[in-house]
A and B are shown apart, each in its own frame.
Chain A
Amino acid sequence: MNWFIHTIGSSIGKKLLMAITGLGFCGFLAVHLAGNLTIYGGKASFNSYSEHLHALEPLVTIAEWGLLTFAVVHVLTGAVLFYQNLKARPVRYSVNKSAGGRSLGSRTMPYTGILLLAFVIFHLINFHFADRTVTTIYAIVSGAFKHPAYVVVYIIAVAIAAVHVSHGFWSAFQTIGANHPKYMPLVRTIGTVFSLMVGIGFGAIPVYLFIFV
């Protein structure tokens, strides 16, 4: 198994880890968003979604540990890559100018990443680890978004997530070598559409709860 450790420790191996875990998170975001849409059905609909989801135990716990493992791999590998990339150019240029290759997403990946990590921790403490013995998830969520500060924090956070995904999605395909003249334009379009869906889809929920509930 020595060859395997060497492989994932190489520059391309580390990128492969980022790509696989990143695509995993894209899948998670899609499922999470689909589930969250039940909140537009009202209190009963959202609580019922939550109950049905947790009726799938132990699958939910397994998925949670899987996501945690992915997160640890994604964050640690990302941190190593960021550090190595900084070290690869010890003396910086006095003038930096893009030739048009970089995007808002690509140039901010490490920074949006660290902000997302902070947000995920905040988000889990808020909703995931909240005491649900005496209250329902709908009450917790709708209660939280009565505060404008929460709404603003969540909108900023999902905007950051959208920017991160806008580069991450197509970049993951490029890294795993799936760059094909026929499909790459489609992958890039899906990446853009998906990042907009993440931004608008998750961002609309706090606004909806704040205004209408």
Chain B
Amino acid sequence: MVEQREQHAPVLETVAGTKRFVGTLALDDVSFQLRPGEVHALVGENGAGKSTLIKVLTGVYQLDGGELRHRGEPVSFGRPVDAQRAGISTIYQEVNLIPLRSIAANVFLGREPTRFGLVDRARMHREAAELLREYGIHSDVRQPLGSLGVGAQQMVALARAVHTNETTMSGEGAGAAQVVIMDEPTSSLEPREVETLFEVIERLHRKGIAILYVSHRLDELYRICDRVTVLRDGRLVHTGDLADLRRIELVSMMLGRDVSDIRRHGSTTFGDTDHAVVEEGRSEPVLQAQNLVSTPKVRDVSIDIHPGEVVGLAGLLGAGRSETARAILGALPLDSGTVVLGGRKLPSGNVGAATRAGISMLAEDRKLDGIVPHLSIRENIVLASLPRLSRFGVVSRTRQDEVVKTFMERLRIKASSPDQKVVELSGGNQQKVLLARWLCTQPKVLLLDEPTRGIDIGAKAEVQALIDELASDGLGVLLVSSELDELVDGSDRVVVLRDGEVAGELSGDEVTRDAILDAIAGDQQEASA
């Protein structure tokens, strides 16, 4: 009886789940259901609430509103260990094991078989080898874990998680009660490792274990998942069988554009005119990035940027957009390929040289890669151009103040004074400070990685207008964005990436929302071919 009901009732669900962080609603009335024995895809772009939902399900966060239910009963996981005890294991993108210890030790860490108080190594090795064979690992379990490939390590993590649950849970329906959450498990795997992972998922599936699978790779989702839940801006926008959904529909739901709504005109402040000031056919690209390879995320990308041109870079999360920008700047070392700026080849992996040559990048993660939080606005603005503002290594106060004043006015940076610490500013103003920093270096090419993310509407409009203006002044701009409107309205040309390769290139009238979506989804062959 009881088991019967459990077969149908969701094994894990949130009912009107709400999670609030300072200033933002990370989960807004989300009712998510994971059924026993299903493979359920969870998708959404950055900030959609995926990781918040996962953290709620695994006991890292607690809901502010609504209810978390496990096997139909309301539960509250105070700590990750509580969720683990309830049979919910999580495999993270980064393997959370001890690479320097042996494979067997990693499987059993904390629960080693002992004899007379000492670890029974022989038994541990035997049992680990037996267990791992099920997961397709036939290596010597006495080897250090770190000697395995990332995929195999992930498999060990999976084996450990499932085994821990099996041995700590007992009683009826233990298998059906189990949940394995996989957070982008394939993001750093080789194709054949992905295959093995899928075989293991299949086996777990047959055992009746429910799997929540997070990935941005549509191919994978369609191959292994039964159902899908799409989150956007903290809300659940769709849940249902995956087979019923066309790829383009899925992508439009993730990016927030209904297919029917796709013709709606833009909500951006970009001007209508195209920027390129040079006559067609005669323009020399200011930047030529050729066949860039930087494993694992950038596999083969070529992009040209002409003076006065805004080139959009589109693609799903994980397609290699930010990594491409970083590879051009030299922040990611190139395995092969060249970056040529104004006819001169740049040395690989040297940000200083690229900056001096005239490339600047507004990084995606403002806090980690952008601002120097405890320094003032003034110091942040001039940081990258100190040599120009100094004589014999001593910074000229007057020239510095002049520059800072100019940019603060031009970019309308709102602050009590140039001495205010950047960490105290709003996101939009921080972004403007960073833009000022890069403009201050008088760049030839500006790489903008999600320039309008996480800033308020007003600032967003200002930043967009500024990009327009800069291009009109002859600057080459690479605009990385996950907002279609921004790409369509702001770019003269759009390069679409998929899995680290250029999947299509659109220019002029071809730059439309559906064309970009088509290229992202990969439903059609080369959109521009």
The answer to whether A and B interact is no
